[in-house]
């Protein structure tokens, strides 16, 4: 950049500062000289000049001892011990001395130590008398007093007597304080040395701000605009944004809708009937115990749906009903089915949707908030989202189930390869677990799936095979959001929410 | 899901052939729904996902299954059995306490370390998972030579007998065991409610065990000197106890034990156990192909089923099957189809993308909620996602409110997460507390669910979706909150709403309003009460509102 270029880009604030600059001038001195500028304006102007390589700003960190609140007062009116002593003659009554109570007790302690007074307790109160040593000390400035006059002073410049005074004053309330100060000194660069010699006015006829008046009067014509340093850093803006994990879920929803799935929703509090019984999970199943699922203290029981469904579910459990199954061989208890609980898995949504009645072919998905008794840590949430769904059609079989899962792995997880593992779920048979090879994450367990058992679907009046799936998408979300701690999906860190990249 | 430790060397010996870890991990363990979970020296860790097939929860059972899949054996596994002449007499009254017992004898056993480890592991896993923590099946294994048959299964009063239980050296009564013995304390809930407790003893009144709690120290200890075993299983369902017994003795038979049956004399029936009579089933070829989609020929189906250890006869496209008695998991033909597909190999199947034409769509209310969510960043608010689990203190005490009915968890992991929230603003204030040192102003919102009590509803609760908005800043006030709410409502096409004075202790009195649309209350809006701010350790004013989107949607409909 030529010198003219630099000058043409100078901000009015920079123009104000330039003539005031001297080699090695301190910021404070400069501030005193730049009477029309605020401290922040001066600071910004200097930073811009530094960006333009006109000056070097040297910053020294200094520890400085300075007067605190009380110190400032004492410097003007004298330390309490001097004020007290100057009022003491022989047998002076304490109550007659003009001094505050706090100052009195501090001053008494110090004067006694110096043997400057004697104290006598009489029935009318305390009486003080000045000693010869006291008289002498009245004539002389104490170390503390002369120290206060020197302030502010840098810590490293302290002499021995200063250190003594410092230690003694430190014990006392708000007389001195130690500050850490940035001392800024300005040095002109070779460019700067030349520029301050130029006549700034020569290149000063440019427009700084385009304002409406100029546009109305066309006065901008034939004028040039001051050039800006477009490479400059600007303060960050804080704007409102969507929650990143919810945005991730929206992306996935969009993909599923694109694949022909309808969204289903359901209540957070479920009956065990929909959470387990409809899904053919026997009432003595370990997943239904207190260690595996939450139960409610209040309200405890809900209402079962209409008898037709309840009876069909009951006989499916007890003897397989009309499905050709043996069932689980036990007496199904409607009271257990009525018990309420926070939804434990997303499949409860599918159960509810099927019980409501569906039109074949049907493709449904849902994102369900689920609850399990886990502790909150970097790898566990106390509540989490599951993505579930099902497809009901006469053409469904195990091959098409694998086909759909492979499609999910590719479309949703960006997988390059899949592998299938036999698995067990109480509500599906055959059951499968899918692993997907993600280009960055490697092999991840993507989810479980299967064909709903006929004991389940037939009890709900569905005569065609129904394939059901549940995808674990949190690891994918964590990868996309660049986090290792799962709690960030429900982040309570405002800074992170304001700054994280959206996916 | 049972997690098993098995010896690799032992597995190869029982399998009868060398097999690499890689082959086990990638192919063979899939036949038993097993997931390879690492190897430590000789110990293979396997997660068996099949919770209804206890026969797969031991090295013996895994080897037995794999022999079929790898063509070393085919069809149903064979177990030799002859009568022992031993009887178990079940006294009247047991039907009200723990009704069923079955038993077996295993002779000429060579107790090795591998056998002992597997026997104990299998016994534990069967009792824990299949036996529902001993409630439905509890297994006792004894030194037969210390017992004098016949064996009696009877009920005894809590103080009616004394014996030394395992892990003790003192004579104890059943009551004392339930009160003081570690196992007694652990399982006391299974017996407490009865007047008398079950006891297994021999003809010389030597106690064998107090099921399902503990064995006696004398008869119930198996060591490397033991030659002959007596095994019994008690429980609540005759199918479950027989399956458990069959599984345990089949494993002993695979290690060369000679099995003998025992006669169980109930007051009104006689049962011989164990029972290896194969179970039978029928399934049509067309059903197999419909569910699997594999289009298999009859001959292929026969081979796959034999690999899965079925005996097979196919006539007129109907498959007649025999399968091992311990397979209680087969409830429906679909269970057999899965066995066929597993034997075929999941990863040998070519996936086909289904061609089903449907129109996808989002839930209408969710679309509405999403519209609302997208409005708020326009006023500079940051969206949040909070937990719905919280606690009463947060919802009421800190909010300056009297307690009212809300959903409470009976078995919370922590008191912090013991209730479901019934409104959302407390979550926002909690968020402010965690972010006091962040840059101001802070404007946040959440469209999220909360749950209220609704006695008329099927679940006695109603899930409500609400928009909560709040700003914390030195100069925030009612006007700001009102402007934001007004912007939201106008954007949704609602201009005819009114705001009335309201009483709400979470807000400053006189600076809180209730928003009505068509006469229905849909929102509270105001400046948060300084006492509430103090409770949340906030040193800045907060204005906020909470809008019921569930009701609003109903009104707009």
Whether A393 sits inside 8 A of B354 (CB atoms) is yes
Minimum CA–CA partner of A283 in chain B: B132
Q: What is the pLDDT of residue B368?
A: 97
CA distance B190 to B177: 13
For residue A300, tell me if it sits in a domain. no
Nearest to A465 by CA among B361, B354, B72: B354
Whether A242 sits inside 8 A of B449 (CB atoms) is no
CA distance B195 to B215: 20
Q: What is the pLDDT of residue A180?
A: 85
Instruction: Residue window 159-178, chain B: list those with CB within 8 Å of chain A.
Output: none
With a cut of 80, say whether residue A206 has pLDDT above it: no
Q: How many CB atoms lie within 10 A of CB A439?
A: 9
Classify A118 as helix, strand or coil.
Answer: strand
Q: What is the pLDDT of residue B93?
A: 92
| Cβ-based contacts of A328 with chain B (< 8 Å) | 331
| Cβ-based contacts of A352 with chain B (< 8 Å) | none
Helices (H), ranges, A320-430? 334-338, 347-356, 398-411
Count helices and strands in chain A by DSSP H and E runs: 21, 17
> Same CATH topology for B81-273 and B279-346?
no
Whether A431 sits inside 8 A of B385 (CB atoms) is no
Contact B65, B28 (CB under 8 A): no
For residue A53, tell me if it sits in a domain. no
With a cut of 60, say whether residue A203 has pLDDT above it: no
CA distance B41 to A241: 53
Which region, left, alpha or beta, applies to residue A395 given φ > 0 means left and ψ of -120 to 50 means alpha? Answer: alpha
For the segment A221-266, what is each residue's pLDDT rounded down to a tens digit? 878 888 887 887 888 889 999 999 999 999 999 999 999 999 999 9
* Exposure letters A477-486 (e unless 16+ CB within 10 A, then b): bbbbbebeeb
Which residue among B135, B435, B461 places its CB closest to the CB of A267? B461
Instruction: Residue window 167-226, chain A: list those with CB within 8 Å of chain B.
Output: none
CATH of the domain at A258: 3.30.930.10
For residue A347, tell me if it sits in a domain. yes
Asked which of A139-148, A443-452, B311-320, B335-344 is least confident by mean pLDDT, the reply is A139-148
Contact A321, A315 (CB under 8 A): yes
CA distances A125 to A93, A129, A345, B40, Å, are 7, 14, 82, 88
CA distance A248 to A250: 5
| Mean pLDDT in order along chain B per 10 residues (557 residues) | 91 94 94 93 93 93 96 95 96 94 95 88 91 92 94 94 92 94 93 94 94 92 90 94 96 95 96 96 97 96 97 96 95 97 96 94 97 97 97 97 97 95 98 96 97 96 98 97 97 95 96 96 97 97 98 94
- Topology of domain B3-69, per CATH? Phenylalanyl-tRNA Synthetase; Chain B, domain 1 (3.30.56)
Contact B363, B314 (CB under 8 A): no
Nearest to B246 by CA among B114, B112, B103, B150: B103
With a cut of 60, say whether residue A114 has pLDDT above it: yes
CA distance A186 to A47: 11
Whether A498 sits inside 8 A of B33 (CB atoms) is no
Chain A within 8 Å of B51 (Cβ-Cβ)? yes
Helices (H), ranges, B322-400? 333-344, 364-375, 392
CA distance A446 to A416: 13
* Exposure letters A187-218 (e unless 16+ CB within 10 A, then b): ebeeebeebbeeeeeebeeeeeeeeeeeeeee
| Domain count across chain A | 1
Contact A56, A50 (CB under 8 A): yes
Residues 6+ apart with CB under 8 A from B513: B478, B482, B499, B500, B501, B502, B524, B525, B526
| Cβ-based contacts of A255 with chain B (< 8 Å) | none
Classify A326 as helix, strand or coil.
Answer: coil
Q: Give kind and range of the element (H or E) at residue B64.
A: helix B59-69
Determine the distance from the C-alpha atom of residue A269 to the mean position of all C-alpha atoms in its chain, rounded to a whole number: 31
CA distance B362 to A347: 18
Q: What is the pLDDT of residue A205?
A: 61
CA distance B335 to A120: 105
CA distance B292 to B348: 13
For residue A150, tell me if it sits in a domain. no
The total number of residues written for chain B in this structure:
557
Token pair, residue A417, equals 């390869």
CATH architecture, domain defined by B279-346: 2-Layer Sandwich (3.30)
For the segment A291-318, what is each residue's pLDDT rounded down to a tens digit? 889 999 999 999 999 999 999 999 999 9
| Cβ-based contacts of B413 with chain A (< 8 Å) | 373-375, 382
Chain B within 8 Å of A340 (Cβ-Cβ)? yes
For the segment A467-481, what is each residue's pLDDT rounded down to a tens digit? 999 988 888 899 889
* Exposure letters B218-237 (e unless 16+ CB within 10 A, then b): bbbebeeebebbbbbbbbbb
Contact A330, B328 (CB under 8 A): no
Residues 6+ apart with CB under 8 A from B456: none
With a cut of 80, say whether residue A200 has pLDDT above it: no
For residue A295, tell me if it sits in a domain. no
Q: How confident is the model at residue A139 (pLDDT cuts 50, 70, 90)?
A: confident
Instruction: Residue window 107-126, chain A: list those with CB within 8 Å of chain B.
Output: none
User: How large a percentage of chain A has pLDDT more than 70?
Assistant: 99
CATH architecture, domain defined by B364-556: 2-Layer Sandwich (3.30)
Token pair, residue A199, equals 């006549």
Chain B within 8 Å of A255 (Cβ-Cβ)? no
| Cβ-based contacts of B337 with chain A (< 8 Å) | 429-430
Give strand ranges (E) for B326-480: 382-383, 389-390, 408-409, 419-420, 442-453, 461-472
Token pair, residue B530, equals 């300084």
Q: What is the pLDDT of residue B360?
A: 96
Q: How confident is the model at residue A204 (pLDDT cuts 50, 70, 90)?
A: low
- Domain boundaries defined on chain B: 3-69, 81-273, 279-346, 364-556
Q: How many CB atoms lie within 10 A of CB A489?
A: 21
A407 DSSP 8-state letter = H
CATH number listed for the domain at residues B81-273: 3.50.40.10
Asked which of A90-94, A203-207, B101-105, B518-522 is least confident by mean pLDDT, the reply is A203-207
Query: Residue A375's domain spans which residues?
Result: 246-269+343-499
CA distance B436 to B59: 59
Token pair, residue B467, equals 């928009």
Whether A257 sits inside 8 A of B360 (CB atoms) is yes
Nearest to B424 by CA among B391, B453, B465, B462: B465
Q: How confident is the model at residue A202 (pLDDT cuts 50, 70, 90)?
A: low
Q: What is the pLDDT of residue A136?
A: 87
Contact B372, B467 (CB under 8 A): yes
Chain A within 8 Å of B381 (Cβ-Cβ)? yes
To the nearest whole Å, the CA of A112 is away from the closest chain B CA by: 46
Summarize the confidence of residues A116-128 as an average pLDDT: 85
With a cut of 80, say whether residue A199 has pLDDT above it: no
Contact B228, B106 (CB under 8 A): yes
Q: Partners of B231 in the beta sheet?
A: B104, B141
ipTM of predicted assembly, 2 dp? 0.91
Q: Tell whether omega for the bond before A361 is within 30 degrees of 0, i.e. cis.
A: yes
| Cβ-based contacts of B131 with chain A (< 8 Å) | none
Whether A399 sits inside 8 A of B411 (CB atoms) is no
Q: What is the mean pLDDT of chain A?
A: 90
Pairing of strands A466-471, A442-452: antiparallel
To the nearest whole Å, the CA of A341 is away from the closest chain B CA by: 8
Nearest to A245 by CA among A149, A396, A393, A381: A381
Q: What is the pLDDT of residue B511?
A: 97
Minimum CA–CA partner of B51 in chain A: A424
CA distance B324 to B311: 9
CA distance B178 to B186: 8
Q: How many CB atoms lie within 10 A of CB B364?
A: 12
CA distance B398 to B426: 8
3-state class percentages of chain B: helix first, strand second, coil last, to nearest 5: 35, 30, 35
Summarize the confidence of residues A126-145 as an average pLDDT: 86
Summarize the confidence of residues A431-443 as an average pLDDT: 92
DSSP A176-216: EEEEEEEEEEEEE-HHHHHHTTS-GGGG--SBS---HHHHH
What is the pTM assigned to this prediction?
0.81
Helices (H), ranges, B85-159? 113-125
Asked which of A190-194, A463-467, B61-65 is least confident by mean pLDDT, the reply is A190-194
Query: How many pairs of residues across A and B have Cβ atoms under 8 Å apart?
Result: 282
Nearest to A249 by CA among A410, A412, A378, A405: A412
């Amino acid at each position: 950049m030529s010198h003219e270029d630099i000058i043409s880009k100078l901000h009015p604030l920079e123009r104000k500062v330039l003539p005031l600059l001297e080699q090695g001038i301190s910021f404070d001195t400069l501030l005193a000289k730049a009477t029309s500028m605020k401290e922040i304006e001066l600071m910004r102007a200097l930073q811009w000049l530094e960006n333009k390589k006109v000056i070097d700003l040297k910053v020294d960190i200094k520890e400085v001892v300075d007067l605190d609140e009380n110190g400032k007062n004492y410097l003007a009116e004298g330390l309490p011990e001097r004020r007290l002593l100057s009022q003491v003659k022989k047998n002076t009554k304490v109550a007659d001395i003009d001094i505050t109570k706090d100052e009195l007790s501090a001053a008494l302690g110090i004067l006694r130590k110096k043997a400057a007074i004697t104290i006598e307790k009489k029935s009318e109160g305390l009486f003080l008398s000045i000693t010869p040593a006291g008289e002498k000390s009245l004539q002389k400035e104490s170390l503390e007093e002369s120290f206060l006059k020197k302030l502010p002073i840098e810590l490293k410049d302290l002499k021995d007597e200063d250190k003594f005074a410092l230690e003694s004053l430190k014990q006392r309330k708000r007389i001195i304080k130690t500050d850490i100060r940035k001392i800024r000194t300005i040095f002109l660069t070779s460019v700067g040395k030349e520029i301050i010699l130029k006549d700034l006015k020569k290149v000063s006829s440019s427009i700084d701000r385009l304002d409406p008046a100029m546009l109305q009067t066309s006065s901008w014509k034939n004028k040039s605009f001051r050039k800006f340093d477009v490479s400059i850093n600007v303060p960050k803006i804080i704007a409102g944004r969507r929650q990143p994990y919810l945005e991730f879920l929206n992306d996935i929803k969009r993909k599923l809708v694109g694949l022909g799935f309808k969204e289903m929703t359901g209540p957070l509090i479920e009956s065990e009937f929909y959470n387990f019984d409809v899904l053919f999970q026997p009432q003595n199943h370990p997943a239904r115990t207190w260690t595996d699922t939450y139960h409610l203290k209040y309200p405890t029981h809900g209402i079962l749906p209409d008898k037709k469904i309840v009876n069909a579910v009951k006989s499916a459990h007890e003897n397989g009903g009309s499905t050709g199954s043996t069932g689980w061989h036990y007496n199904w208890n409607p009271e257990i089915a009525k018990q309420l609980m926070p939804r434990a898995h997303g499949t409860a949504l599918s159960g509810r949707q099927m019980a409501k009645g569906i039109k074949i072919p049907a493709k449904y998905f849902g994102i369900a908030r689920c609850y399990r008794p886990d502790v909150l840590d970097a790898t566990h949430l106390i509540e989490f989202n599951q993505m579930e769904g099902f497809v009901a059609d006469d053409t469904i079989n195990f091959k098409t189930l694998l086909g759909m899962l492979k499609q999910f792995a590719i479309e949703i997880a960006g997988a390059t390869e899949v592998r299938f593992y036999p698995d067990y779920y109480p509500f599906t048979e055959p059951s499968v677990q899918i692993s997907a090879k993600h280009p960055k994450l490697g092999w991840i367990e993507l989810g479980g799936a299967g064909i709903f058992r006929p004991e389940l679907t037939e009890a709900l009046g569905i005569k065609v095979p129904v394939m059901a799936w549940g995808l674990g998408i949190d690891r994918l979300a964590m990868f996309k959001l660049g986090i290792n701690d799962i709690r960030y999906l429900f982040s309570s860190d405002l800074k992170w929410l304001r700054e994280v990249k959206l996916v | 899901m049972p997690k098993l430790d098995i010896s690799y060397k032992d597995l190869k010996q029982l399998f009868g052939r060398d097999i690499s870890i890689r082959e086990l991990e990638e192919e063979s363990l899939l036949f038993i729904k097993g997931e390879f979970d690492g190897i430590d020296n000789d110990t293979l860790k396997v997660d068996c996902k099949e919770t209804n097939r206890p026969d797969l929860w031991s090295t013996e059972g895994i080897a037995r299954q794999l022999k079929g899949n790898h063509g070393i054996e085919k069809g149903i596994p064979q177990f030799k059995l002859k009568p022992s002449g031993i009887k178990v007499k079940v006294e009247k009254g047991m039907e009200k306490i723990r009704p069923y017992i079955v038993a077996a004898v295993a002779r000429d056993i060579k107790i090795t370390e591998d056998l002992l480890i597997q026997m104990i592991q299998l016994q534990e896993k069967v009792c824990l998972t299949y036996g529902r923590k001993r409630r439905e099946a509890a297994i006792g294994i004894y030194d037969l030579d210390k017992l004098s048959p016949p064996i009696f299964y009877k009920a005894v009063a809590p103080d009616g007998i004394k014996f030394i239980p395992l892990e003790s050296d003192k004579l104890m009564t059943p009551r004392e065991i339930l009160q003081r013995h570690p196992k007694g304390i652990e399982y006391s809930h299974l017996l407490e409610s009865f007047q008398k407790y079950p006891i297994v003893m021999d003809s010389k009144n030597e106690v064998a065990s107090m099921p399902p709690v503990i064995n006696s120290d004398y008869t119930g200890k198996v060591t490397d000197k033991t030659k002959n075993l007596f095994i019994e299983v008690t429980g609540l369902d005759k199918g479950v106890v027989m399956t458990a017994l069959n599984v345990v003795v089949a494993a002993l038979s695979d290690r060369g034990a000679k099995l003998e049956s025992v006669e169980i004399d109930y007051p009104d029936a006689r049962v011989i156990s164990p029972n290896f009579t194969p179970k039978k089933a029928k399934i049509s070829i067309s059903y197999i192909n419909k569910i699997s989609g594999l289009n298999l020929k009859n001959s292929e189906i026969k081979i796959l089923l034999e690999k899965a250890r079925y005996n097979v006869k196919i006539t007129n496209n109907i498959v007649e099957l025999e399968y091992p008695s311990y397979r209680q998991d087969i409830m429906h033909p679909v269970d057999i189809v899965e066995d066929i597909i597993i034997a075929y190999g999941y990863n040998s199947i070519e996936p086909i993308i289904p061609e089903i034409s449907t129109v996808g769509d989002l839930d209408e209310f969710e679309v509405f909620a999403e519209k609302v969510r997208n409005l708020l960043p326009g006023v500079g608010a940051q969206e949040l996602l909070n937990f719905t689990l919280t606690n009463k203190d947060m919802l009421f005490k800190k909010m300056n409110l009297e307690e009212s009915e809300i959903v409470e968890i009976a078995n919370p992991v922590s008191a912090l997460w013991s209730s479901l929230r019934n409104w959302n603003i407390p979550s926002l204030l909690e968020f402010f507390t965690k972010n006091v040192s962040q840059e101001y102003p802070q404007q946040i919102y959440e469209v999220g669910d909360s749950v209220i009590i609704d006695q008329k509803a099927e679940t006695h609760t109603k899930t409500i979706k609400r928009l909560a908005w709040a700003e914390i800043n030195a100069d925030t006030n009612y006007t700001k909150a009102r402007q934001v709410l007004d912007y939201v409502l106008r954007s949704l096409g609602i201009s005819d709403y009114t705001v009335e004075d309201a009483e709400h202790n979470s807000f400053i009195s006189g600076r809180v309003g209730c928003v009505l649309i068509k006469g229905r209350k849909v929102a509270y809006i105001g400046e948060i009460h300084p006492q509430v701010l103090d409770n949340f350790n906030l040193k800045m004013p907060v204005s906020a509102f909470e809008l019921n989107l569930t009701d609003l949607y109903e009104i707009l409909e």
